[in-house]
Amino acid sequence: MPGEILDNQGRGEASWQWPSIHPEGRKFGAIAGVVALAGWILLGPWVGWPLAVLTLCVLAFFRDPVRVTPQDERAIIAPADGLVTLIGKVPPPRELTVDDGTGSAPMSSEPVTRISIFMSVFDVHINRTPIAGSVKRVIYIPGKFVNADLDKASEENERQHILIERSDGLRICFTQIAGLVARRIVPFVKPGDIIAAGQRIGLIRFGSRVDVYLPAGTEPRVLMGQKIIAGETVLAVLASASVIEGIAQ
């Protein structure tokens, strides 16, 4: 199925399949499996069974399912699985509003809409790019590990900013933020890389948040409390600023 074209007119074949385990997680699964086997042999099933379940949980955390990404230049795609917990107008990260000497123009400091996506340990943690384009900046910032669901996590926690620019000059910034349990942000891209919309760009271990900064004049197509899917859910449509309401039921 990867690479296959599917559409809203019935083209393509779709079927459920077991998600693969990302290579980044196989070593952790192997370590957990060895510990479980040793515990079973040395201490018996009453220790071995819980460790075996823990091994399955570790593998599940690093699952990497196939996603069908809408191919629409107006669409901004969700970079992370999770729950929309914050939507508001804020300035872009200050690290991206200054000249870094690379020749890449800094972002404006004018407030834009930020969407915060909280990932629990039960969500898929592979992050994907919201648009196609060139990676202009990847900025890692050490910090704290407070609850990623709090607004102050955007400024205080360990985080990594990624700036993507399309050929027409449109730029999108999003930030991977470590949380209480997450202790490592793992990038798959570097400045200069050319990436497609929905392409895998990194992951965060274990439980965290991703902030997306929309272009000026664009409002979200998702709601507070909505569960979204990385690489598939359309967060916003460019130059669309309508208000959308929802009902929890």
- Active site positions, annotated: 208
Torsion from C-alpha of 104, 109, 111, 117, nearest 10 degrees: 50
* Interatomic CA distance for residues 175 and 79, integer angstroms: 10
* Interatomic CA distance for residues 157 and 176, integer angstroms: 10
* Interatomic CA distance for residues 189 and 241, integer angstroms: 31
* Interatomic CA distance for residues 220 and 214, integer angstroms: 8
SS3 (DSSP) at 221: coil
SS3 (DSSP) at 165: strand
* Interatomic CA distance for residues 212 and 113, integer angstroms: 8
User: Which residues touch 165 (CB under 8 Å, ≥6 apart)?
Assistant: 104, 133, 134, 136, 171
Half-sphere exposure of 199 (CA within 13 A, CB side): 15
User: Which residues touch 186 (CB under 8 Å, ≥6 apart)?
Assistant: 24, 202, 203, 204, 205
231: left (phi over 0), alpha (psi -120 to 50) or beta: left
